């Protein structure tokens, strides 16, 4: 059965860890802490990015169907996990600040709205990037932590060989195999962290491009409303 070799491998690993020295065990404990924290971040970020993606699609469909900004503002709360909601609020609030008492957009108002949209997008991306640095650190540091445990274990194995006076591979092989567990553990922790970091980084680029496109759509709608207000000598439709 396929699980039988895995059981034997697991038993061998447990035996090697139990026989390893205190320094190697301490290294393995550090790697375990890195692994647990990294997997917690991976699951949390995967869920957050998934919800943000779904809600962003829904928000964009609703925004493109809306007739004015106030209508979109009234329903935007239901799409809250989407970062586009916060970007919209930045732009919409700035637009309301740029409207004069006569209902017309102040000079330079479009540029002010554009800056507000850029600030909102930057803050949302910064929030989405939070804790991803830990995955990058885990991917780059843990192999070296595991390598340190291996080097230390091999040093102990050769030191025991020199004191025992038995210069044979059989006498030193158990100590080396126990030490190599630390390197394997370091790679086991690092590889998922690197894969997840690259995946989330790709998602962040997609969200950044989506925010840029939304900013352009927001500005286009602003200018259309502004042109309509000028042609009809009416107030700007928010």
More confident residue, 138 or 12: 138
198-236 per-position pLDDT tens digit: 999 999 999 999 999 999 999 888 877 776 554 444 555
More confident residue, 43 or 104: 43
pLDDT for the residue numbered 181: 83
Residue 7 domain flag = yes
pLDDT for the residue numbered 176: 72
78-101 per-position pLDDT tens digit: 998 899 999 999 999 988 887 765
Task: Kindly report the number of other CB atoms within 10 A of residue 75's CB atom.
Answer: 12
Residue 106 domain flag = yes
pLDDT for the residue numbered 3: 44
Residue 99 domain flag = yes
pLDDT for the residue numbered 194: 96
Mean pLDDT in residue range 105-109? 72
Q: Is the pLDDT of residue 62 over 80?
A: yes
Residue 237 domain flag = no
Residue 126 domain flag = yes
Residues of the chain above pLDDT 90, percent: 47
Count structural domains, the chain.
1
Domain range enclosing 127: 3-232
Residue 135 domain flag = yes
pLDDT for the residue numbered 164: 54
Residue 137 domain flag = yes
């Amino acid at each position: 059965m396929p699980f039988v070799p895995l059981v034997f491998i697991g038993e061998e690993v447990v035996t090697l860890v139990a026989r390893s020295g205190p320094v190697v065990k301490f290294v393995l404990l550090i790697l375990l802490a890195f692994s647990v924290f990294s997997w917690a971040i991976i699951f949390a970020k995967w869920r957050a990015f998934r919800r943000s993606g779904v809600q962003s699609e829904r928000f964009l469909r609703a925004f493109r169907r809306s007739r004015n900004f106030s209508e979109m503002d009234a329903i935007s709360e239901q799409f809250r996990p989407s970062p586009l909601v916060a970007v919209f609020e930045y732009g919409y609030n700035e637009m309301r600040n740029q409207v004069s008492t006569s209902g017309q957009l102040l000079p330079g108002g479009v540029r002010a709205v554009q800056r507000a949209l850029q600030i909102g997008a930057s803050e949302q991306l910064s929030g989405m990037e939070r804790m991803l640095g830990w995955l990058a650190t885990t991917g780059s540091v843990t192999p070296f932590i595991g390598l340190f445990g291996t080097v230390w274990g091999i040093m102990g194995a050769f030191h025991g060989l020199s004191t025992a006076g038995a210069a044979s591979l059989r006498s030193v092989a158990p100590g080396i195999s126990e030490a190599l567990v630390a390197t394997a553990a370091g790679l086991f922790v690092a590889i998922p962290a690197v894969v997840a970091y690259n995946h989330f980084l790709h998602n962040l680029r997609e969200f950044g491009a989506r925010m840029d496109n939304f900013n352009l759509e927001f500005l286009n709608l602003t200018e259309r409303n502004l042109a309509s207000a000028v042609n009809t000598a009416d107030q700007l439709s928010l």
